[in-house]
Amino acid sequence: MSDLAAALDTVGARWALLVVERLLDGPQRYGDLQRDLGVPTNVLATRLRELEAAGVLTRLPLRHNTRAYALTDRGLALREAIVALARWGAEQT
Partner DNA sequence: GGTCGACACTTGCAAAATGCAAGTGCGACG
Partner DNA sequence: CGTCGCACTTGCATTTTGCAAGTGTCGACC
Using CB under 8 A as the criterion, which residues of the chain lie in contact with its own copies when the complex forms?
2-10, 12, 14, 17-18, 21, 74, 77-78, 80-82, 84-93
**Candidates 1-9, 38-46, 72-80, 82-90 — which segment interacts with DNA by CB under 7 A?**
38-46
DSSP string, 18-44: HHHHHHTTS-EEHHHHHHHH---HHHH
The one of its own copies, DNA, none whose footprint includes residue 39, by CB under 5 to 8 A per kind, is DNA
Cα–Cα distance, 53 to 31 (Å, whole number): 20
Helix (H) or strand (E) holding 57: strand 57-63
Q: Tell me which of 10, 29, 54, 70 binds DNA, using CB under 7 A.
A: 29
